[in-house]
Amino acid sequence: MAKRSAAKSGSLTGDMRLVVLSGKEHFLLTERTRQLTAALEEKHGDVGVFRFDGAAATLADVLDELRSYGLMQGYKLVIVDDADEFMKKGDGEYRRAMERYAAAPVDHATLLLRADVWYAGNFDKSCDAVIKCEELKPDAAAQWCVERANGEYGITMRLEAAVLLVDRLGCGLVRLDTEIAKLGSMVEPGAVITRDLVAQMVGKSREEQGWEIQSAVLSGDPGHALAKTRELLEVSRAPVELLMWSLMDLCRKLHGTSRLLAERTPPFEVKKRMKLWGPGGDAFLDAARAGTPHRFAQLLRQVVERDVKVKTGQLTGERNVEALATLLADRLSGASAVASR
């Protein structure tokens, strides 16, 4: 049998006998499987689908299913999950046997191998398609959201709205698809999903929530810090554990930044070593200049001690976070006042 040139992308057809899908983006794995099944059904009519767990299945299990004829359906789709584990069995025996099968596959079945990780080899040379289903980069994920909204749900999503959606939820397509469906149910037919709608209806990422409480504390305004903390707890439903960690991270960075500045480390080097990126980096530098390493070490110790008390049930989590945010903002305000004299 002539060796095929394996497709790495593009459509899956009903003529394909050997297909490999690899990657950790399970939404794409599922979609590609659906596309292949639909193509086989269009070509062959009813298709019997048989699934094997590659970690548990034997070589005989898979090859016997491929070579035997179905009683009800004339054509088969045989799926092996965790195919990388399957191919590694028998000190290479399974891979060599599958390479021999790939050289002359049966004409009444298609073999689909699915794996999080796939190691290329001679088997691939006989495949009709070897397609990666990896997580998309943010730009590609945003474009996917626009196309998905239109193609699957018949709604228009602006690109800037998709960019914000990816920023808040990450690049996982299952979660993005679920959120697109929710947003689509909130707009009238023919309406557009805008950035403002996403901002209002989609929860902020943990990184954003963590920075918001840090930014409020760095303002040195206890009232603002308290209001922002309550908003995060009651409106955004931010976990107490996340906010406690953010306050500890704030004190840790202030202590480290203050120590480096006291050692006359250049500000740009301080930002690099403490990972103070963006506009927030200047706020950390300003706050750190207003105190001393010893003072910030004391604040860090207080936060750690309170965190222990929360975890051991001695303090209430939400009230403790509010009190700490207010206390830290007050201390930073006092330090700034002293430094400005």
- Write out pLDDT tens, residues 80-121: 999 999 999 998 899 999 999 999 999 999 999 999 999 888
pLDDT value, residue 70: 66
Residue 337 scores a pLDDT above 50: no
Average pLDDT over residues 229-233: 88
- Average pLDDT over every residue of 153-161: 93
- Between CA 84 and CA 52 the distance in angstroms is 13
d(CA 209, CA 231): 10
Whole-prediction pTM: 0.59
List Cβ neighbours of 328 (8 Å cut-off, separation of 6 or more). 217, 225, 247, 250, 251, 299, 303
Would you state the pLDDT for residue 10?
63
* 310: confidence class by pLDDT, cuts 50, 70, 90: confident
Cβ atoms of 217 and 250 closer than 8 Å: yes
Helix (H) or strand (E) holding 4: none
Residue 40 and residue 63: Cα distance in Å, rounded? Answer: 20
Given a cut of 70, is residue 284 above it in pLDDT?
Answer: yes
**All domains in the chain, ordered by first residue:** 18-132 (3.40.50.300), 140-201 (1.10.8.60), 206-339 (1.20.272.10)
Long-range contacts of 7-13 (CB under 8 A, 24+ apart): 7/128, 7/129, 7/130, 7/131, 8/129, 8/130, 8/131, 8/132, 9/131, 10/129, 11/35, 11/39, 12/36, 12/39, 12/129, 12/131, 13/39, 13/43, 13/128
Tell me: pLDDT of 8 over 60.
no
